Structure 1
Amino acid sequence: MSNRRQLGVRLPVLSDDLWIEILLSLPVESLLRFQCVSKSWKSIISSPTFISMHTHHSESTHNHARHLLHWFADKGGGVLDMQYQLFQINDSFNEFQKLEYPCQIRGGGYLVVLDCKGLILFAPLVRKNGLASLVLWNPAIRMSMTLSQPYKFGRFDGTAHVYGFGFDHTSNDYKVLRMVLIVDLGCRKSMLPFLSLAELYKLRTGTWETVKVAEDFQYTIADNRQALVNGASHWVGYHKRDMDFPKLVVLLFHMCEEEFRVMKLPDCLSSLNADLTKIGVSGGLLSLMEYNLHDASVWLMKEYGVVESWTKQFTLKDGRWFSPIFSFWNNEMILELKKREGVGLLYDLKTHKLIKNLRIRSDQVIESLIVKNTFVETLVLFNEVHAIRECENCLKRDMWCDSEKINEAKGKNCTREN
């Protein structure tokens, strides 16, 4: 079926398909401005079909590629200050655009779970009234959305919550996984929680569904950091029976098939200290990093699902001076320079040399810093009824030319003081 028929509109002069191809090649910022060119353009740009097509086009071509940098800085007294910035691929970390994060989370108490296809999920560190309020944010269009409350699993003693975020390409839908880990009060050996209950939120329907967890799937998640690879969210964990001497595995939830699975690790990795092992993604491959005071090593799973394909890529020495942060920039790794507040460095994995100061603007000690290679810009959330945009000043700053849209936004946008 042609793009013209899918969108259900016509455009003058040029063929409909040619107009659509031109619009698909434009960055999000331009599309937001070009809505006011005509009603036809506005109809196309705001249609769900075009939004989906544009996201796919941006992801596959990497046109107008931007990169997301965010970090948590310790302000003292246990308070974390979150910072977010976007930069262009050809800027080489020299020019940054600071972003104001969503008004719903400006009071603090949130952590970033992951970004997926241009959206970022914020999960609460502290739950209000026993329930968790999750927030989706689209930095490209400065819109955010608070998800509806889950059906089950209010807060009670002996629980922990872990979240996952991904995309189901079969249904063209974003999904949020909420896992509840419960302490087995009858187990005297350990008070660590294991996975017991789970729910899945689907953006297209705006509803939560219960996910079946097998009775023998009694695993605990060692770290809430997730790695999104091959349509599945991955975590480092181990079985309840191994709590005294943890044997690490990779736990995963497949977003399309909506089921939990276990991926074994080779002996050299399964015996690592769970508290000193991080999971991540490098070049589209599942990665593990083991670190201590002396060094840090990164392993890659060269062939997905094949245990024997895990290969050590490199070992970084001098752990006393540098703290490795599990983020990669092309063939470079990001490091934090210890005893120097707010200093980030790029380390060349091929030459094993420090090559650049990231010039991070922070007066506090960086607790966590993440760089996302090729952050996909998308219009997703643009037409969501419950999504809100930045305050009126932010709308003007973004040069929205549709005064009707600005007036419409006044009644449901953030209350941040100007």
Structure 2
Amino acid sequence: MLTLLLIESLLHFFQKMKKVQRFLNTDVLFDVLTRIPVKALLGLKCISREWHHIISSRSFIRAQLENTELVLTGFILQEKFMWCNEDIKTVSYIPVGTTTTIRNAKMQHQRVFHFLPEDVVVLASCKGLVCCRSCFPCEEPTIYVCNPSNKQWIKLDWHGCEKNESIALAFDLDSSFDNFTKFKLVRVKPIVICEDEYEEMYLEFELYSSETGAWWKSNETCQCGNNLIKNKGIYIGGVLHWLTDGDQVLTFDVEKELSWLISVPVPAFEFESIPEACIGESEGKLHYILISDLGLHVWYLEDYYESKWTLKHYKSLEEIEGEYPNFFFNLKNRVLERVDVELSPWMNPLSFKDGILLMKVCADLFLYDIENNKIVQTCTLQDLNTKSMSCPTVLPHSLSLVPLTHAYKVPCY
């Protein structure tokens, strides 16, 4: 099998020998290009208008998605204020590279969504598409669904908006093979029902379909008095997942419009320290990552209805410190010192995707490849122009060529 470097060398050779046009008239170029990852294709689109046209066609995008795997390429990161109605506008992007090498991790980019008509707050990411909203304060709040790879976007009206509500994105790659890309948004709204002297909190679900262009309220409700935290709306196999602060994961089947709660593997009260957790997806399964004084645990969910979890990876804090003494020191004692949930955690798992964990340790961000047991430092909080990063939104992102219907485009040449 040709390596990516060799494929690119062949393509540039044909261009240099002025045989591009003849090459374009065969199926060879089409077949070769469809086997190249998106990151390289974005550069190749700018070689000529002909190359841009072929790579942008729906037939090519369909073939490329079939011939290559959609893998993690980076993490989108944005801080937020919890105590005021103003949003932080800066969005950063931390590239990962591949699952076997994360040596490019130190690069971090800002102004990720500069192609949109206004500053935005990121809400969800799914298979290359990103859902975001207008920054507050704003006179006419808007929701955008966009693809940063090809700079295409769709604008949706947002009525009855609230700053801290959760909106998730559900999208399947095979839905992009028709005349337009189909996706759904799911909005989770807490409601309080008062009966006699008691109050019960429920969650309601509102959905938006790109096919109908309309919102509707689902008949489904879920009795849940906990807050949705971190990694909101992870989409796996037709089901959305939200981590809550009550040792449970909220789930919602998008097609059947059914929700249920899944207990986490180990409740927080069983630890001496205050643990920190996040959820993510790898190999098509929901994963739960927990960091406590006992170490770093990674479970994956085997059975939804029985809340059956299997431990996939474990490493004590002493082991992590011993293997990477240049990065870490006195980890266990630092973790044990946190006795108040209001204090910022010393170690905090932020996001997990395809076996790669992005975590904060003190004032630094690290990528941990659990499959290859490799940790690299990405950047510091100072690099991101922040001091604490107490409650950031962190979304895994994969580059894709998925097109959007009636989108506004910014060409690369």
Does residue 1:134 correspond to 2:139, yes or no?
no
Give the Å deviation of 1:200: 1.8
Q: Aligned pair in 2 of structure 1 residues 208, 136: CA closer, same or farther (>3 Å)?
A: same
Match of 2:366 among 322, 335, 345: 345
Q: Aligned pair in 2 of structure 1 residues 106, 235: CA closer, same or farther (>3 Å)?
A: same
Q: Secondary structure at the match of 1:50?
A: helix
Paired with 1:359 and 1:277, the residues of 2 have a C-alpha distance of 21
Aligned ranges for residues 94-173 of structure 1 at < 5 Å?
96=107, 98-103=109-114, 110-124=120-134, 126=136, 128-129=138-139, 132-141=141-150, 143-149=151-157, 154-155=160-161, 161-169=165-173, 171-172=175-176, 173=181
Q: Aligned pair in 2 of structure 1 residues 261, 178: CA closer, same or farther (>3 Å)?
A: closer
Paired with 1:166 and 1:263, the residues of 2 have a C-alpha distance of 19
The answer (yes or no) to whether the contact 1:179–1:195 under 8 Å persists in 2 is no
Q: What residue number does 1:362 align with?
A: 384
Does residue 1:213 correspond to 2:197, yes or no?
no
Give the Å deviation of 1:228: 2.2
Paired with 2:102 and 2:372, the residues of 1 have a C-alpha distance of 22
Paired with 1:386 and 1:18, the residues of 2 have a C-alpha distance of 30
Q: Secondary structure at the match of 1:163?
A: strand
Does residue 1:36 correspond to 2:49, yes or no?
yes
Unaligned runs of 5+ in 2: 1-20, 318-331, 338-344
Does residue 1:199 correspond to 2:207, yes or no?
yes
TM-score, normalised with respect to structure 1:
0.65
Q: Secondary structure at the match of 1:135?
A: strand
RMSD: 4.4
Paired with 1:122 and 1:329, the residues of 2 have a C-alpha distance of 20
Give the Å deviation of 1:76: 12
Q: What residue number does 1:48 align with?
A: 58
Give the Å deviation of 1:233: 1.3
Give the Å deviation of 1:234: 0.8
Identity of aligned residues (%): 15
Q: Secondary structure at the match of 1:93?
A: coil
Instruction: For 1:167, give the aligned amino acid.
Output: F
- Once the two structures are superposed, residues 297-337 of structure 1 have per-residue CA deviations (whole angstroms, 9 ceiling, x without a partner) of 54423425363531344365422573222334776643323
The answer (yes or no) to whether the contact 1:226–1:280 under 8 Å persists in 2 is no
Q: Aligned pair in 2 of structure 1 residues 68, 169: CA closer, same or farther (>3 Å)?
A: closer
Unaligned runs of 5+ in 1: 1-10, 239-245, 390-394, 401-418
Q: Secondary structure at the match of 1:199?
A: strand
Instruction: For 2:406, give the aligned amino acid.
Output: V
Give the Å deviation of 1:175: 1.8
- Once the two structures are superposed, residues 366-393 of structure 1 have per-residue CA deviations (whole angstroms, 9 ceiling, x without a partner) of 52374737x2332523xx433243xxxx
Give the Å deviation of 1:167: 1.5
Q: What residue number does 1:406 align with?
A: none
Paired with 2:252 and 2:353, the residues of 1 have a C-alpha distance of 26
Give the Å deviation of 1:198: 0.6
Paired with 2:225 and 2:67, the residues of 1 have a C-alpha distance of 38
Instruction: For 2:378, give the aligned amino acid.
Output: L
Paired with 1:76 and 1:296, the residues of 2 have a C-alpha distance of 29
Paired with 1:170 and 1:88, the residues of 2 have a C-alpha distance of 25
Q: What residue number does 2:239 align with?
A: 232
Instruction: For 2:168, give the aligned amino acid.
Output: G
The answer (yes or no) to whether the contact 2:106–2:378 under 8 Å persists in 1 is no
Q: Aligned pair in 2 of structure 1 residues 330, 226: CA closer, same or farther (>3 Å)?
A: closer
The answer (yes or no) to whether the contact 1:249–1:262 under 8 Å persists in 2 is no
Q: Aligned pair in 2 of structure 1 residues 167, 267: CA closer, same or farther (>3 Å)?
A: closer
Paired with 2:28 and 2:266, the residues of 1 have a C-alpha distance of 55
Does residue 1:251 correspond to 2:254, yes or no?
no
Q: What residue number does 1:84 align with?
A: 93
The answer (yes or no) to whether the contact 1:69–1:372 under 8 Å persists in 2 is yes
Q: Aligned pair in 2 of structure 1 residues 180, 350: CA closer, same or farther (>3 Å)?
A: closer
Paired with 1:67 and 1:46, the residues of 2 have a C-alpha distance of 20
Give the Å deviation of 1:177: 1.7
Does residue 1:59 correspond to 2:58, yes or no?
no
- Once the two structures are superposed, residues 266-318 of structure 1 have per-residue CA deviations (whole angstroms, 9 ceiling, x without a partner) of 784498999965332245421224556x5665442342536353134436542
TM-score, normalised with respect to structure 2:
0.66
